[in-house]
Amino acid sequence: MRLALTAAVLGLSAGVLSGCGGDGGGQDASQATTITATTTTAATSEASAKPEAKGLDGTWKPINDSPIATLTVTGTTAQTTGELACPGTITDADSAKPVLTLDCPTPNEDRKRGTLELKPDGSALVVTWDGPAWGGLIDSLKRAD
């Protein structure tokens, strides 16, 4: 986005500067448009070269101290391993704030239901677990696969 904005500003600057001056030897409007279009196309091509995020699906490993060794998500199902090994479900998986609910044989009151927030590039995931009025625990995870 930053690159696209820079390209747009450069294109506008070229157009404004071409209108200034007195001898008529500057760029005409069609040349300025060509420069802007070329710069914008290059910016769009570079932005689309970034790898696509995989969404929530995949295996995640916590970067903080957590009883969860891994969290594996496949569609609307989840599975944790480690000290807190439980199956789970994800509701509103396509929304901006999906919810993970773990169904543990021995419930862990600190990590029962949490809101998921995926980093825009898909490389990190934060689980904000429901808790008291001040908020619950937070697990930060990085993509393992």
Range of the domain at 32: 2-48
Digit-coded pLDDT (tens) for 46-79: 444 344 457 999 999 999 999 999 999 999 999 9
Digit-coded pLDDT (tens) for 27-39: 555 554 445 444 4
How far apart, in whole angstroms, are the C-alpha atoms of residue 125 and residue 141? 5
> Which pLDDT band holds residue 94 (cuts at 50, 70, 90)?
confident
How far apart, in whole angstroms, are the C-alpha atoms of residue 86 and residue 111? 11
Q: Are residues 76 and 114 in the same domain?
A: yes
> Which pLDDT band holds residue 93 (cuts at 50, 70, 90)?
confident
pTM of the model: 0.63
Q: What is residue 51's predicted lDDT score, i.e. its pLDDT?
A: 41
Using an 8 Å Cβ cutoff, are 35 and 29 in contact? Answer: no
Domain count, the chain: 2
Residue 25 located in a structural domain: yes
